[in-house]
A = this chain, B = another copy of it.
Amino acid sequence: MSDISLIGMMSIFTAGLSIGLGAIGPAIGEGLALANAMRALAQQPDKANTITRTLFVGMALIESTAIYCFVVSMILIFANPFWNYVLDRSGG
């Protein structure tokens, strides 16, 4: 097990784990919010504008936590400083 394969394996595994775990919370949170927005629309169809606007701004805020995970995942795959270092060292 060379350094390269160890760093590589761990980067691959962490990239998948981080987005895999990180998709659970936001999806359930957004589902909860959307579900109640449906009820709100049924109760006050005249205020669809206000409700929809607040809903999408809020969902964007929740989505941001999923995006943090995606960003970490992409950094680990395409811009990983640890990987770059071991490649440099091995004269890659």
Contacts and interface: CB of A to CB of B under 8 A. Distances in A.
Copies of this protein in the assembly total: 14
Contact of A83 (B10, B42, B82): B82
A65 B69 CA distance: 10
Contact of A41 (B2, B50, B68, B81): B50
Chain A at the B interface: SS class = helix
Interface residues on A, range: 35 or more
Nearest to A68: B70
Interface of A: 1-48, 50-52, 54-59, 61-66, 68-70, 72-73, 75-78, 80-83, 85-87, 89, 92
14 contacts: A3-B4, A6-B9, A10-B13, A21-B24, A25-B28, A29-B32, A29-B34, A30-B61, A36-B36, A40-B41, A47-B48, A66-B68, A68-B73, A82-B83
